[in-house]
């Protein structure tokens, strides 16, 4: 059984076990991109501190989330790291009309293990192939994961993709790439700045130049199947100054449409 299918089955079983009103979660169920975990947990705490039921958060890669929703996973809000996957959900009428908004932006960075002692990476990363040698560059799968696609675009813009494409260690989501580097299993990784901010096992090896940064957008929307009474209010809270300030501490870029 593929991992995405297993994740969907686990999520469905866990939530269906709460089938009667006495055990069902009262807060909205939010399916969110893996890169948002620490920031969104803090936002959920801030929401609960106002007297609301705390949202139930589930994190995965954007493709996995989209497939979960298409497969009927019970949820109220989708928060993805990719406009294309949200476009697919909208085209298939899984989103509540008029609720989609661009919530945040992001940036890519090159990371290395915290104790790494390699030579400095040059400003345009042109010495990265030499520093890698026969090692591999950890990044989300460019063929299926938004962070990987963005990473490929950045490396293409820098003229490095042809040299490095055969040395990619592709992962199912960007957090797995972060883990590989944090464990020292890869000398470098390409992740979001928000991932770097969430880990104490890695360091920034180089900033990706502005000219090579692809447009990274995090869309959010209420699902058409939503049943939680305060789901719409929590979606609005995500765009509030209070929530946006929390996201900014984790290196997300405020783009919320209010």
User: What tokens appear for 40 in the block?
Assistant: 């969104």
170 shares a domain with 114: yes
User: What is the rounded distance in angstroms from the CA atom of residue 79 to the CA atom of residue 102?
Assistant: 10
- Closest-CA residue to 141 (of 168, 101, 162): 168
- How far, in Å, are 29, 62, 132, 207 from residue 59 at the CA level? 11, 9, 31, 26
Q: Contact at 8 Å (CB) between 95 and 78?
A: yes
User: What is the rounded distance in angstroms from the CA atom of residue 16 to the CA atom of residue 255?
Assistant: 35
100 shares a domain with 18: yes
92 shares a domain with 22: yes
User: What is the rounded distance in angstroms from the CA atom of residue 187 to the CA atom of residue 178?
Assistant: 11
Q: In the chain, how many domains are there?
A: 2
User: What is the rounded distance in angstroms from the CA atom of residue 56 to the CA atom of residue 24?
Assistant: 11
112 shares a domain with 94: no
114 shares a domain with 88: no
Question: Listing from the earlier edge strand, what are the strands of the sheet with 188-192?
Answer: 168-171, 137-140, 188-192, 108-113, 202-207
121 shares a domain with 241: no
101 shares a domain with 34: yes
101 shares a domain with 13: yes
81 shares a domain with 123: no
User: What is the rounded distance in angstroms from the CA atom of residue 157 to the CA atom of residue 213?
Assistant: 8
- How far, in Å, are 55, 148, 215, 243 from residue 234 at the CA level? 8, 29, 26, 10
Q: Contact at 8 Å (CB) between 172 and 5?
A: no
Q: Contact at 8 Å (CB) between 110 and 151?
A: no
CATH of the domain at 10: 3.40.190.10
User: What tokens appear for 123 in the block?
Assistant: 């400003």
Query: Length of the chain, please?
Result: 258
39 shares a domain with 90: yes
In this predicted structure, what is the pLDDT of residue 15?
46
Could you say which of 212, 230, 246 is where a domain stops?
212
User: What is the rounded distance in angstroms from the CA atom of residue 217 to the CA atom of residue 102?
Assistant: 7
In this predicted structure, what is the pLDDT of residue 118?
83
User: What is the rounded distance in angstroms from the CA atom of residue 3 to the CA atom of residue 82?
Assistant: 20
User: What tokens appear for 33 in the block?
Assistant: 């991109």
Residues 6+ apart with CB under 8 A from 176: 140
Domain that holds residue 191: 108-212
145 shares a domain with 74: no
Each residue's pLDDT tens digit in the chain (258 positions)? Answer: 344 444 444 444 444 444 444 445 589 999 999 899 999 999 999 999 999 999 999 999 899 999 999 999 999 999 999 999 999 999 999 999 999 999 999 999 999 999 888 889 999 999 999 999 999 999 999 998 999 999 999 999 999 999 999 999 999 999 999 999 999 999 999 999 999 988 999 999 999 999 999 999 999 999 999 999 999 999 999 999 999 999 999 999 988 554
In this structure, the strands spanning 101-105 and 77-79 are unpaired
User: What is the rounded distance in angstroms from the CA atom of residue 258 to the CA atom of residue 242?
Assistant: 13
170 shares a domain with 224: no
């Amino acid at each position: 059984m593929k991992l995405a299918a297993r994740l969907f089955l686990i999520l469905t079983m866990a939530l269906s076990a709460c089938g009667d009103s006495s055990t069902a979660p009262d807060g909205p169920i939010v399916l969110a991109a893996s890169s948002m975990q620490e920031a969104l947990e803090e936002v959920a705490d801030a929401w609960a501190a106002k007297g609301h039921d705390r949202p139930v958060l589930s994190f995965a890669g954007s493709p996995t989330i989209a497939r979960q929703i298409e497969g009927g996973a019970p949820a109220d809000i989708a928060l993805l790291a990719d406009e294309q996957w949200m476009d697919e959900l909208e085209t298939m009428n899984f989103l509540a009309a008029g609720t989609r908004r661009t919530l945040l932006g992001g940036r890519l960075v090159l990371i290395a293990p915290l104790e790494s002692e390699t030579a400095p990476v040059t400003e345009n990363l042109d010495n990265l192939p030499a520093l890698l040698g026969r090692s591999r560059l950890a990044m989300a799968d460019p063929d299926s994961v938004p962070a990987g696609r963005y990473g490929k675009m950045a490396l293409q813009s820098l003229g490095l993709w042809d040299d490095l494409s055969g040395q990619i260690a592709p992962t199912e989501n960007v957090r797995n790439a972060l883990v590989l580097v944090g464990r020292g299993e890869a000398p470098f990784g390409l992740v979001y700045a928000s991932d770097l901010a969430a880990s104490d096992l890695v360091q920034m090896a180089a900033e990706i130049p502005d000219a090579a940064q692809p447009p990274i957008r995090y869309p959010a929307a209420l699902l058409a199947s939503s049943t939680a009474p305060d789901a719409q209010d929590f979606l609005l809270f995500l765009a509030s100054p209070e929530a946006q300030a929390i996201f900014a501490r984790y290196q997300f870029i405020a783009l919320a449409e209010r």
